Structure 1
Amino acid sequence: MKKKLGNILIFVLIIGLTIGYGIYKDNQSKVTVNKIYTMEYQEQALSDLENERGNGNYTLQNIFMKYNPFSTNTQSMYVYFNTSKAAKITYTVSCSDYADFTATAYQAKTYQKEHEFQLIGLIPDCTNTITITATYKDGTSQSISTNYTMGSLLGDEDIQLKQVSGSKQDLGNGLYTLLANDADDQDFVYMYDTNGVLRGEIPIIGYRSHRMLMQNKILYMSVSTHRMAAINHLGMIEHIYNLGNYIVHHDYQFDQDGNLILLATNEEKN
């Protein structure tokens, strides 16, 4: 899982700035999320996951599934199995009173025999029907369904948004991302589908994620004023960048050489 990561370059923005630090109503929640964004936590989570999965013979009829093993998305599931023939995988999450959510599972190749990915889109406080479909090169397919009852969200955001105005245009199958609320309570990144249904709740330490960048199939995002995280397709954090005395303010982007360039403020200066 280890990948070569680019350097981080920090450009300092010197302005008059008042930094607001969120005061969490639930201090334990803050401690827990801080722990998630450490490599010790992530490496232990990976070890626990591998030990639990073991060397079992997991097939489409006997899928290994583990709820949110890396604690990075409360509406996610780790999935692992093999197929006898190379296949591409799609999945659908169904829950009463909500529109279905269908996505294509991550794979290094379009068709392959080993399948390991993060399924997202579970509905909280509901029994979710998860249908996983393997489609083979010859056009044939097989599907298997299983039920999973998810618990409550960590936050109190709306699961279903109401449309008050707007067009009827087809928006495709993407996700709209709200890059955290910078609230006094626990902060999250939210992901809503085009039906206005919440499909991802990502807890972050605080402040907000200014943007989500993809580089070499790794997701980069800020998770606090002082910390950047590199997250892989399983939801595991592969690397954490501590920015020391610098505060992300207010943007970052990759350059042509693969360096991650951040606009930042030195909090030790005026």
Structure 2
Amino acid sequence: MPKRARARSVTLLTAAVLVLSGNPAVAVSTPRVPQQPDAPPVVPAAGQLVATAEIFPEADTNLYTVQVARDGAPVEPGGFALDVQQVVDAALEDLQTLGSSPTDPLLVLNPYGTNTTGVYAQFETEDNGTLTYTVSSPGTEDFTRVAEDHDPSASSFEGQLIGVVPGVENTVTTTWRPDGGEATEFSFTMTAPPSAAGGLTTLDRTVEGNAEELTEGLFAVSGLLRHPDHTLFYDNSGVLRAEFTHDGYRTDRLEFYDGTVVTTVADNELARIDGLGRVVATYVLSGYEMHHDFDVTDDGKVVILATETAKDSVEDVVVSLDLQTGTSEKVVDFTELLADYKSGTQPYGPDALDDWLHLNSVDWSPDGDSVIVSSRETSAILKVDDVHGSPAIDYIIGQREVWAGTDAESLLLEKTGDFPDSGGQHSVVRHDDEGLAEGQYHLTMFDNRFWRIDSRPDYTGPAPAGTSPVFGADPSLRSEYRKYLVDENAGTYTLVETLPVPYSAIVSNVQDLGGPLLVNSGQAMTFAEYDAQREVVARFDYALEGPAENGFAYRVLKYGFGDFWFAAS
């Protein structure tokens, strides 16, 4: 039996039934409902969950799948229902008697329904060690990683093999190296299910520098307009290596907390998923719909951009969710903090949407329990202090004419230098870099250079030079990567770096990779990794067939997944 502890209901375990089917030679069944040797077969009670393990037919070894049914009707594990996840967990416990050694492992394809090509692997061992594996498929570079072992004991390995390419034949070769012992090798071949998102198995990659200089990790492409309920993970060759599924809402980002990844799965629900793919917790926000972004604080709270459904206005509050207690509360309401400014705005568009602020990114800092938020509608960056206490706006960065004559005008920082302000910026992130004086830090952003204030049709102030009202991806225009130096002591901000990038009026993001830079121009359907000298190393295009307006991606972020999917280097 496995050594790891699981939090689950005793009632659920005694009610769940595991049935194995497929190859009779391995169809070993361990019923969860006790019965006498001569008793009739167990018949599940009404509403009872039943897990069935079957042989995956497109493999040359005993690769299993797990299906869950309630009253005979299939239940999708990817629906994030915890009772379903727990029944899968119980089924894997029963199957683990089959993982006898590194050369005879238990293999299960996507048991928890969260990663369509992830392979759960478990086997008994005689000592601690490392599992290195390589995925080979036609027309792609080999994908080699060291798998993270999620079983803390020395007598068993348990992990998830990431990298199987959807829809094609893959050969997976594993090498187990016990500490102080001789390495053993195992190999199996499988034809993986097709991508659940469809297409985009391989991105068009253009290498302009040295591809070996690309940083380690996987590119997470989220918010594809035609596939909002999938997050696609690509390697440095542009090959799809993993695929998250959701309940109709994109992954705004991934945040790592206590051995799990925190992500959005529906517009009012977050989930925590561990490295095996198991959903360990879900959180529903009653009365709110999430949008655009969230961040996790040092003490396990999630600050979330949200719309309060009972209000007429949208995208103008911040909600805080406690990951330990599951409780949530509204902590910032900009209709109160900026009431004077809001009084001069009006709903717009065919739906008369009161989208007067349109917050699109949030970044939390322990410095005064503060957040930096980005407002697309006002092309402004705002800092709010004491978020979980008595929140107040500390400052605003933006075009002065937009705020002229309002109570907020006095909150504007002074610009030092001759440069135009941003237009419709996204993904504003604070960096407390070494070498800066106290009270100084950098802000990086994707400056869309898009300018339109639909909530103020009577606005007659100037637009920042170089901005455009063009909504879309115009190759004759340019957006920018921007980096500001903020000096709170002096009350100033300065442009210290800028880089022209493909134009995208909305969405998009930048990510500092510790020197190198990742830039996603969403509506242009392209992202690129730049080196520290801001030269393009490689560019990746993700355009889909059909009209261009159906193809943007909201964000592309790169993650290493060390101590999660892969052993930390």
Q: Smaller-chain TM-score range?
A: 0.7 to 0.9
Letter in 1 for 2:247: I
Task: For 1:50 and 1:139, locate their aligned partners in 2 and report how far apart those are by CA, in whole Å.
Answer: 27
Equivalent residue number for residue 222 of structure 2: 179
Per-residue CA shift, 1:18-45, capped at 9, x if unaligned?
xxxxxxxxxxxxx976962211221222
CA contact (8 A) 1:111 1:137 kept: no
Equivalent residue number for residue 285 of structure 2: 243
Task: For 1:176 and 1:267, locate their aligned partners in 2 and report how far apart those are by CA, in whole Å.
Answer: 33
Quick check: which has more Rg, 1 or 2? 2
Equivalent residue number for residue 44 of structure 1: 87
Equivalent residue number for residue 27 of structure 1: none
The TM-score normalised by the length of structure 2 is 0.40
Displacement after TM superposition at 1:57 (Å)? 5.4
Pair 113,229 (structure 1): closer, same or farther in 2 beyond 3 Å: same
What secondary structure does 1:223 align onto?
strand
Per-residue CA shift, 1:184-232, capped at 9, x if unaligned?
x562000000011000111111231111011111111001211101001
Per-residue CA shift, 1:119-165, capped at 9, x if unaligned?
11112222211111112333752221111221212121311112235
How many positions carry a matched residue from both structures? 241
Pair 169,95 (structure 1): closer, same or farther in 2 beyond 3 Å: closer
Task: For 1:150 and 1:132, locate their aligned partners in 2 and report how far apart those are by CA, in whole Å.
Answer: 17
- Which of structures 1 and 2 has the larger relative contact order (alpha carbons within 8 angstroms, sep 6+)? 1
Task: For 1:54 and 1:110, locate their aligned partners in 2 and report how far apart those are by CA, in whole Å.
Answer: 16
Q: What are the equivalent positions in structure 2 for 1:1-270 lying under 5 Å apart?
A: 1-2=6-7, 36-51=79-94, 53-56=95-98, 58-107=100-149, 112-138=154-180, 140-164=182-206, 166-170=208-212, 171-183=214-226, 187-270=229-312
Per-residue CA shift, 1:97-134, capped at 9, x if unaligned?
11111112112589944110111111222221111111
CA contact (8 A) 2:98 2:105 kept: no
What secondary structure does 2:206 align onto?
coil
Pair 76,164 (structure 1): closer, same or farther in 2 beyond 3 Å: same
Task: For 1:169 and 1:96, locate their aligned partners in 2 and report how far apart those are by CA, in whole Å.
Answer: 20
The TM-score normalised by the length of structure 1 is 0.81
Question: What's the C-alpha RMSD, in Å, of the aligned pairs?
Answer: 2.5
Task: For 2:153 and 2:91, locate their aligned partners in 1 and report how far apart those are by CA, in whole Å.
Answer: 28
What secondary structure does 2:277 align onto?
coil
Pair 89,116 (structure 1): closer, same or farther in 2 beyond 3 Å: same
What secondary structure does 1:84 align onto?
coil
Displacement after TM superposition at 1:54 (Å)? 4.6
Letter in 2 for 1:178: V
CA contact (8 A) 2:135 2:170 kept: yes
Task: For 1:139 and 1:54, locate their aligned partners in 2 and report how far apart those are by CA, in whole Å.
Answer: 23
CA contact (8 A) 1:68 1:78 kept: yes
Q: Which runs of 4+ in 1 moved over 4 A?
A: 31-35, 108-111
Identity over aligned pairs, percent: 27
What secondary structure does 1:69 align onto?
coil
Displacement after TM superposition at 1:236 (Å)? 0.7
Pair 200,231 (structure 1): closer, same or farther in 2 beyond 3 Å: same
Identify unmatched segments of 5+ residues in structure 1: 4-30
